[in-house]
Amino acid sequence: MLTSVDTDLMRVLADPLRLRIVTLLARETLCTTHLVEETGAKQTNLSNHMKVLREAGLVDTEPCGRFVYYRLRPEVIETLAGSFAELATTARETVETGRKRAC
């Protein structure tokens, strides 16, 4: 079932720019410069969003000279997806059994 950690992650991912960043990072590890180019966001705005994603545990950083690369942590997404899968399974069982509470 969904936990408070899951709801915190959903809040983080509810922002369109952060969801776009996560989608980009799912395809490849990128530095801030790449993310600015891909999203069109200002560097300071992007840095603030990256801080939120790091603090939520969704991304890891990798220093490379004067650049910082960001990598998505797929296990965090998988955990959230698993919680939704469990919720869907429970809902399916409820529908199939016709379980409902009497009023």
pLDDT in tens, 31-84: 999 999 999 999 999 999 999 999 999 999 999 999 999 999 999 999 999 999
Q: What is the pLDDT of residues 75-88, one digit of tens each?
A: 999 999 999 999 99
100 lies in a domain? no
Boundaries of domain holding 12: 4-90
Q: For residue 87, how many other CB atoms are within 10 A of its CB? A: 13
Q: What is the pLDDT of residue 28?
A: 97
Q: Which helix (H) or strand (E) holds 72?
A: strand 67-72
Structural domain tally of the chain?
1
Q: Look at residue 99 and tell me if it is in a domain.
A: no
pTM: 0.86
Q: Residue 101: inside a domain, yes or no?
A: no
In a domain, 97, yes or no: no
Alpha carbons 103 and 99: distance in angstroms, whole number: 13
102 occurs within a structural domain: no
Backbone dihedral angles phi then psi of residue 31, each to the nearest 5 degrees: -95, 175
pLDDT at 62: 95
d(CA 36, CA 20) in angstroms, rounded, equals: 11
Q: Which CATH number covers residue 50?
A: 1.10.10.10
**Assigned domain for 8 exists:** yes
